[in-house]
Amino acid sequence: MATANLSFTKLVVLALTAAVLVELSAAANYTVGDNTGWVNNPSGGATFYSNWASQHTFATGDILVFNYATGQHNVARVSKNAYDTCNPTSPMSIDTNGPTNINLNTTGEYYFFCTVGTHCTQGQKLAINVTSPTTAPSGAPSSPPTTSPSPASPPPSPTASPPSPTASPPPSTTAPPPSPTASPPPSTTAPPPSSTASPPPPSAPSPGSPGTSASPPPPPASSAPPTAVAAFAVVLMSIAIGVMC
């Protein structure tokens, strides 16, 4: 159990360390005024530092670097009311050794100026707005961003494409004329019968012609068998005798 708790504690420490490293790696250092540094009567006039702040975004973890000569200037963090009136009494913090690094640890508005003489009224003052790294921060709070209106979309073209002037030809209403050549009427005249009679059957070859064997002639009709004739005669005689009796 003790080993499990120790492993869990190590994991938590590693996670926190990684989060801190990520935040530190994402932090940025900003040199106030860039090459001009932290001076009174800057070349850009009283709005020089506010214009510089509007060109940057500030998030928690960032660092402001004020470059100045020690003994000639200082950096005092003040309230908004003291900033607006250049009132050097009761500053929130003051640093007199240059260069001065200011860690931006919390979100919100930060106000700085130099309390030496009339340097504040000569433009040696700075106001910035610090936001969370997950949001889109803005620069100086006194100069809200100006959004340009998006151009209106062009109106649709009022001219529609004209229809094609060439219409399709109307369908033909004239039926094609019938063919002038009609089919010939059927023939009503039957063909005349043939006037040529069929030839008679060929005559039987005469007996004794060479090369043909003639069939024997049939027996004469009067030649009947003798027994049949005798029986027929007996029948006739019997009929005659019966009639006579």
Domains of the chain (ranges, CATH numbers): 28-131 (2.60.40.420)
Q: In terms of pTM, does the model score above 0.85?
A: no
Q: Which one has a higher pLDDT value, 58 or 169?
A: 58
pLDDT at 228: 63
- Averaged over 207-220, what is the pLDDT? 44
**What's the angle, vertex CA 48, arms to CA 47 and CA 54, rounded to 5?**
85
pLDDT at 206: 42
84 C-beta neighbours (distance < 10 Å), count: 13
68-72, 124-128, 172-176: least confidently modelled range:
172-176
Average predicted confidence (pLDDT) for the chain: 72
47-56, 85-94, 166-175: least confidently modelled range:
166-175
CA–CA distance, 130 with 139 (Å, rounded to integer): 8
CA dist list (Å): 200 to 188, 196, 207? 33, 12, 20
